[in-house]
Amino acid sequence: MIPLITEHIQLLFNEIAMSIGNSLDLRKMLKESLSTYLRKLNCSAGGVFMLKTDALGNYHYEPVITTPRSFPSSKIYQVISKHFPNHDGAGSRPLDFQKNLPLHGSVEGHTYFHILELPEFGYIILIKNNDDLDSFIIKSLKPLNIKLARACLSCLQKARIEEINTRLNDILMSSEDMVWETDADGKFIYVSDSSKELLGYDPHEMIGKQLLDFMTKLEAERIEKIISGKRLNKEPYKDMENWLVTRDGRQICMLTNGVPVFNEGKVLGYRGVNKDITLWKNAEKQLILAKEEAESASRLKSEFLANISHEIRTPMNAIIGFGDLLAEESLNEQQKKFLTFIRTSATNLLAIINNILDLPSLESGKVVINSTDTSVSQLLDDVETLMQPKSNDKGLDFRVIQQGQLPDSIQTDKLKLQQCLINLIGNAIKFTNAGYVYLIVSFDQENQPPLLRFEVKDTGVGIPEDKLELIFQPFIQVDSSTTRVYGGTGLGLTIAKQLAEKLGGYIEVKSVLGQGTSFTLSLPVGNIKESEKDILSSVRQSNA
C-alpha cells in the first residue's frame, strides 16, 4: 500500500519548495534552501555538493554549502564519502554514481544518511540523528530536488553571464575604440565610455541620436547612402571610413565596422566598433605625397638617364668606332701605342657607363626577364669567346670546365645570364694577376629544384672575411686602394647579384685572402625538356 502524503507533510514540502530559488547567488540561495530542508525534515546535518569537471575531463564533487560548516570533516561524512565516485577505491563515473541515487544507509545504528540526486548539478546529503526518513518521503522529495538543481544551474548560469559581462566591460573600458549599438532606425541605444575621449560627448548625450548627427551635412549625405543600402540588404558595415565632427569642432576619421542584430530574421539594429584612424589617414596622405614626389623624382631620373645614355653612348661609339678605323691606318709605333690606350680606355668607360645605366633598371624592377629555350653549351661557348681575350691580355689561364652531365638546354633569359657570368668572370680576371680563372659548370640533380651551378674560381687577391658581406653593395670595393689599383665602379658584382636574383638564383662567395676567390651562381632549373629528363635520370642512376 502506498502511504498517503498527509497534509502535514505536504505543507512541509510546500515550505521547502518556497525556499528554493529565491536568490540567483548560489551560496545565498542554497543557504536558505538547505536550511529549510534540514529544519523541516528535522535533520541534524547536511550539504549540497556540486559536480565539477576540469578541462581534461577529470571530475570531482565539491561542497557548495554544508551544515555545519565542518560537516565534510565529520566522522559521518568520512563514512558516507566512501560511496562517492571520487573517493579512493570507489571508481565509478559520476553518471553511474548518479544513476544509483538515492543512496541510503546508517552509521552506528542511530545516524541515518540519504544522498539524493540533484540532476545535472550534483547531490544533496541529509543526515538524521533521531529516526530515519520514510522511503515515500524520499521519493516525494524528488520533484523538489529537481527544482533545487534547476535553481542551482540558474545561479551558475547567472554567475557565468556576470563573468562574461565583466570581461566584456573590462575590454570595453580598456579599449580606445567606440563600441556602439543602434536600433533599427540607426539611433544609438548603447555607446561605450570611450565616446567621451574620442568625440567629447558622454554616452548619454549620444543615445537616441544617429551617427549622421555627428557629421557635416555633406559627409552625412555620403554616409547615409552607404548605410541605407547596407540596412536594406541586411549587410554588415565593413571598413566604412567616415568623418565625424567632435564637440570642439575637429574632424576625425572613423573606421566603422558593424553587424546587423537579428531577431527571427528581422534586423533590430546594428552593433559595432568605431576606430579613430585620423592619424593613419594623415600619415597616409603624407605617404601618398611622398610617393608622388618620389615617383616624380624617379621619372626625372629616368628621363635624365635616358638622355645621358644617348648623349654619352653616341660620342663613345664614335670614339671607339673611329679608333677602330684609325687602327687600320698605317701608324708609327708611338701612335699605335697611344691609340691602344685610347681604345682600351674608351671600351672600359663604355662598360662603366653601361653598368651605371643598368643598375637603376634592375633596382626599380623594370628589367623584364624573357625566358627562352637556351642551349647551355652555346651559352658557355659565347662566354668563353667573350672572356678569353681579356684573360689572354693578362696572361691568365682561363677555362670553361663542365663537370658531369649538363642539360642541353634550359629555360632562362640567355642575355641576362650571360651578363651575370661575364660580370663574375670579368671581376675574377680583374683581381687575378697570375694563375687561372676557371668557370666550372655542374648540375645538381639531387636538389629540389635541380640547380645548374656556375662556379667562377680564381687565384686572385682574395677578399678579407669581414668584407665578404659588403662586396655586393653598389659602388663598394674592398678598399679604396683597390679602386686605384684595379679601377672600376664597384657595380659589377652588384649587377651580377641583382641579375642572379631576377633569374631566380643566388650567388655565394668563398675567399681566402691572398689565395683566391670562388663565386658560385646557383640557378634553379625548372623547365628541362622532357627528352632530357630521361637522360638526366639515367645519369643520376649511373652516378649512384
Partner 1 sequence: MPTKIDEKRDGLVRNYAINIRKNIIMIIKSGKTGSAAELAQLLDSVSQNELVKSILILACDENGYTPETINSILKNVSIPVFGGIFPQIILEKENLGRGCIVAGLSNKAHIQVISGLSDEAIDYENILEEKMLGINAKTMFVLVDGLSTRISALIDSLFNVLGLECNYIGGGAGSLSFKQKPCLFTNEGLIQDSAILAAVETECGVGVGHGWTEVAGPFKVTESERNVIKTLDWRPAFQVYKEVVENHSRRKFTSHNFFDIAKSYPFGINKLGTEKIVRDPLMVRDDDSLVCVGEVPQEFYVHILTGDSNSLINAARGAMELGKKSFNGTVDNKTILFIDCISRVLFLEENFACELEAVHNQQMPLIGALTLGEIANNGKDYLEFYNKTSVVGVLGD
Binding site for partner 1 (CB under 8 A): 7-9, 11-12, 14-15, 18-19, 35, 38-45, 67-71, 74, 129-131, 133, 137
Question: Smaller CB distance to partner 1: residue 133 or 400?
Answer: 133
Q: Which is nearer to partner 1, 127 or 223 (CB)?
A: 127
Instruction: Output the nine-digit C-alpha cell for 233.
Output: 540588404
Short-list 519, 533, 526, CA closest to 503: 526
Q: Which grid coordinates belong to 525? A: 632549373
Measured from the CB atom, the residue of 35 and 175 that comes closer to partner 1 is 35
Cα separation, 172 vs 363, whole angstroms: 47
Cell numbers representing residue 395 in the block: 696572361
Task: Name residue 53's beta-bridge partners.
Answer: 59
CB of 15 to partner 1, least distance (A): 5
- In angstroms, what is the minimal distance from the CB of 137 to partner 1? 8
Q: Residue 20 or residue 491: which is nearer to partner 1 going by CB? A: 20
**Shortest separation between residue 123's beta carbon and partner 1, angstroms:** 20
Nearer to partner 1, 14 or 135 (CB): 14
Residues in a beta bridge with 443? 452
Question: Among residues 47 and 85, whose Cβ is nearest to partner 1?
Answer: 47
Q: Are 37 and 31 in contact (CB under 8 A)?
A: no
Least distance between partner 1 and beta carbon 11 (Å): 5
Neighbouring residues of 513: CB distance < 8 A, sequence distance ≥ 6: 461, 462, 463, 464, 465
Q: Whole-number minimum distance, CB 27 to partner 1, in Å?
A: 12
Residues facing 444 on adjacent strands: 451
In the complex, least distance from residue 183 CB atom to partner 1, rounded to whole angstroms: 41
b (16+ CB within 10 A) / e for 1-13:
eeeeeeeebeebb
Nearer to partner 1, 110 or 247 (CB): 110
Shortest Å, Cβ 22 to partner 1 = 9
10 Å CB burial of residue 165 (0-12, 13-18, 19+) is exposed
Min CB(119)–partner 1 separation in Å = 24
In 3-state terms the chain splits into helix, strand, coil percentages (rounded to 5) of 50, 25, 25
Q: Which residue has the cell 663604355?
A: 350
By C-beta, is 69 or 234 nearer to partner 1? 69
What is the Cβ-side half-sphere exposure of residue 49, based on CA atoms within 13 angstroms?
A: 22
C-alpha 320/C-alpha 324 separation (Å) is 6
What residue type is 349 in one-letter code? L
Residue 251 CB, shortest distance to partner 1, in Å, is 55
Asked if 56 contacts 158 with a C-beta cutoff of 8 angstroms, the reply is no
- Give 38 or 51: the residue with its C-beta nearer to partner 1: 38
Cβ 18 to partner 1 shortest distance, Å? 4
The one-letter amino acid at 100: N
Kindly tell me which of 116 and 523 has the beta carbon lying closer to partner 1: 116
Q: How many angstroms separate the Cα of 523 from the Cα of each of 70, 258, 428, 527, 540?
A: 80, 51, 20, 12, 19
